[in-house]
Chains A and B, each alone.
Chain A
Amino acid sequence: MPESVTGAGDTPATPGGGRPAVEAGESRGASGAAPPPRVAVPLSSGAEAKPHPSEARALLLTALVLLAGVALGAAGFFVERGMSTWRPEVTRTASGWRVVQTHRLPLGGLALGGDDLVWGCGPSIVLMDLSSGRLKLLGPGPASRTTWDPAASQRYVVWFEAAARNAGEASAWVYDSATRRRSQLATLGDVLSLPSASGSRAAWCTTTQGGGPGIVAVDIRSGEQLSVAPEYGVPIMDGDLVTWPTRTGPTGMPAAWALVDLARDRRWSLVPSAALSNALFLGYDLSGRTLVWGETDPASGRGRVVAQNVDDGVASVVAEVSDGATLTSAPSIDGDLVVWAETLAAATGSRVMGRRLGGGPSFLVRDVDGRVLSTVAGGDTVAWLARRGQTTFIETAQAPR
């Protein structure tokens, strides 16, 4: 400190309001001209009067303290960010984004909703804004150590968190991309299915209060729960419609689809048409009134993507692969766009294909250097999760109109 003695610097250079000192021997009488007042020397220091404390220097010193703290906080933030294991390498491509795993935890659980791409990475649920490429860690919260694959609607992302996989109790969380807020949606028992989200509703299967399985739908805005069916099923919902496969055989191919229209409180079944015999079931998706699924027959080498109207049951083969080519992932549908992935007999990689149900032939979305694990369609955006060696990656592209 430039000044350390109490009071020294406080002494004004000029006496100000103080009474001037009087020299010894001087008369205080009114007669004669009074000598001009003299400046008194401070008796305490015995030195010259010091300058007034510099306000600017004081501010500069406090600013340095402030800056040191800010630098420490910023360094902590960036060090912590650099040590995170969920953050992948993100690069913009000619038609979308490429997200590559950078740590040992593989990417998985791909979902596409509105302008957001969501995936899982170990226990982390990660969201990427497709317009900016900005990443956001949605979960898990501090009380949870495990998560399940997320689901996404135009506005909401829904996922489950729990202390452990077999904890017997989990919580459903929701992220609202409009308000950028994360909140707990519901508590549930055992996780018997992944969530599905559409509009402002989500559906999943969990253990009910009676102990048996049950499919429930939840209004995301109010948190109100509705029992869809008191049975086991892996539901997918779109709009007011919830569907799940029933009576699945050893190949996973369902004997029927259960359908529930929440708006009309109506339930019915649909027998899959155009199915291959003894085919392995790859998975299914729902958009509007159209159900799509993929199946592959290892014996004949044929694979098929089938679309079926849930009201009249009319089915159509969207794509069929044969001659050594195989379907590698379940199809995904959004609106009239159906996408799937297949490998070619001669090629080492695979390709993502698409077709519009409104008409026209199937088209190539993108050749992929690796094996495609899942595809997802949202609007005109197509995203796929693929693996090459030990590295998983996600790519996006725009489907042609």
Chain B
Amino acid sequence: MTAWARRRTPLLGAFGVRVLLWLLVELWVLNVADLLLTRYSLSLGFATESNGVMDYFFRSGTVPTVVFKLGIVTVGTLLLWRLRHYRTALFAAALLTAVFAAVVAYQALWVLSF
């Protein structure tokens, strides 16, 4: 994989690595915000979890939900950080951060509108 990636993917400079680090930090924080907003929305009784996997964990309880949600994103961010020398990692992190930001913004506005 690494050899393939090295052949296919342009390498990332120090500045890019720095950007990637901040994106991953943002991604992790947004993930926590997503978890809190989803939990609050569900507790209001107006929202339903459309992600089947997360729905299962939300039904299982708070601790399994927190462990899974934070765990999976932490593993993902660590994986991206391990691949930090490849530009693809930066693009993936940027895309994920933008998507998470969109989801969190939507949820925050929804909660505020109540």
Contacts and interface: CB of A to CB of B under 8 A. Distances in A.
A53 B43 contact: no
B114 A57 contact: no
Contacts of A67: 101
Query: Which label, helix, strand, loop or mixed, suits the secondary structure of the B interface?
Result: helix
A260 B22 CA distance: 67
Interface string B95-114: 00111111111110110011
Interface stretch (B13-21, B57-65, B66-74, B75-83): B13-21
Contact of B16 (A1, A70, A182): A1
B113 to A, nearest CB: 8
Given A73-B106, A74-B105, A183-B45, A62 B11 contact: no
A142 to B, nearest CB: 5
A1 B86 CA distance: 12
A55, A61, A73, A74: most-surrounded residue (chain B CB, <10 A): A73
Given A73-B106, A74-B105, A180-B44, A55 B18 contact: yes
B23 interface: yes
Nearest to B99: A69
B105 A4 contact: no
Contact of B45 (A68, A137, A182): A182
Interface stretch (A6-14, A237-245, A278-286, A356-364): A6-14
B94 interface: yes
A275 to B, nearest CB: 44
Contacts of A76: 102, 106
Interface in A206-253: none
Interface in A156-175: none
A73 B13 contact: no
A3 B13 contact: yes
Contact of B104 (A6, A58, A73): A73
A10, A57, A65: most-surrounded residue (chain B CB, <10 A): A65
Contacts of A180: 44, 114
Contact of B15 (A2, A73, A137): A2
Contacts of A74: 105-106, 109
A83 interface: no
B79 to A, nearest CB: 19
Nearest to A183: B45
Interface of A: 1-10, 53-55, 57-59, 61-62, 65-74, 76-78, 81, 136-137, 141-142, 180-183
Given A8-B13, A62-B97, 15 more contacts: A2-B13, A2-B15, A9-B14, A58-B15, A61-B22, A65-B97, A65-B98, A67-B101, A68-B101, A73-B102, A74-B105, A78-B109, A181-B45, A182-B45, A182-B46
Interface of B: 10-19, 21-23, 26, 43-46, 48, 85, 87, 90, 94, 97-107, 109-110, 113-114
The 10 closest A-B pairs by CB, nearest first: A69-B101, A3-B13, A73-B105, A9-B14, A182-B45, A73-B102, A69-B98, A73-B106, A62-B22, A72-B102
